[in-house]
Amino acid sequence: MGTKKLPENKPEMKTIIVPLDFSVDSLKGFELALLFGRRFPVKIQLVHVQHRHDIPSQEEEEYRQAEKKLQKYIEIYSKELHEEAQLTYIIKKGKVYQEVVSQAEAFTDSLIVASTHGASGFEELFIGSNAYRIVCATSRPVITIRQLPVPQDITNILLPIDIALHSRQKVVFVSTLAKLFGATVHVVTFSESTNKKVVSRLNGYANQTIEYLKNKDIPYVSYALVGANGLNDLFDYATERKCELLSVVNESGNSFTDLIMGSIAQQLISKSPIPVLTIRAKSRTIKDSFSTFGG
């Protein structure tokens, strides 16, 4: 087999976009973003999206109330941030996922942090949460959190390796987060198959991932979940090893069919017991020092 260069997602993260609808659940994403803001010189921007109204006065009143709440958040939480970090807000109108993605794409170095739950409606229940629609529509990394306790630190990051074509695109960004937080990366080969060729390929991918982490002086743990019983084994590992973040590459598109039928990424986002970092798969390859064989 020939040597192939791994596609790379640039590990930049100076702006954190946080969708906020003021529900208790949506504040989980804000809390998680504050974990970054307290430690690093990042800009956190809260994005509130208004629904359009036929009555202008109603829309104006909603805007005033939203602005009042956002200004209060700025007043309270700015005091907790790193001295060079910033906390700002913007109020937009339209569909939540479209406006959040548009705002994130306005920056070349953005990360989106969002709760998977928020103000619910028929559209969200039928088509899929705004969080998953954001994941599908953006090229930016996204961290999602369910209705779970927000981690106070990131000391262990779970990096599952499977045989999917784009599986290893997440390694570069994960290594950046690990460096920032001083975290250990858990390189876990994951497959329900015990086929020797599959296992051999997984081991090759894992070894090259480990070599990359070694070169970056990032502590790691390796483990094999071969013959795994679905995602539950992965979740059990995350819980037992006290991981605070799980990474995945989203290989689906943003079509209606993808949203209805779901994907591995959507299952992880909706069921993971810890926050999930999702990197959008890229079809093109970019030369990098991190190379691999096969697949």
Give one word for 37, left, alpha or beta, with left for phi > 0 and alpha for psi -120 to 50. alpha
How is the beta sheet containing 245-250 ordered, strand by strand?
A: 86-93, 43-50, 15-19, 110-115, 142-145, 276-280, 245-250, 156-161, 184-191, 220-226
Residue 164 burial (C-beta neighbours within 10 Å; 0-12, 13-18, 19+): middle
- pLDDT for the residue numbered 3: 36
- pLDDT of res. 192: 81
Residue 85 structure tokens: 């970090």
Phi, psi of 179 (to 5 degrees): -65, -45
Quickly name the fold that domain 15-145 has: Rossmann fold (3.40.50)
**CA 32, 33, 34, 35 torsion-angle sign:** positive
Decide whether 15-145 matches 150-293 in CATH topology.
yes
| pLDDT surpasses 50 at 178 | yes
- Domain spanning 150-293, CATH class: alpha beta
Higher local confidence (pLDDT), 154 or 292: 154
Residue 259: per-residue pLDDT? 43
**pLDDT, mean of residues 144-155:** 92
Give the per-residue pLDDT at 168.
Answer: 59
Confidence of residue 7 (pLDDT cuts 50, 70, 90): very low
pLDDT score for 164: 64
Q: Are 76 and 60 in contact (CB under 8 A)?
A: no
Say which residue, 280 or 254, is predicted with more confidence.
280
pLDDT in tens, 98-117: 999 999 999 988 999 999 87
Of 26, 283, 292, 260, nearest to 144 (Cα)? 26
Domain limits, the chain: 15-145, 150-293
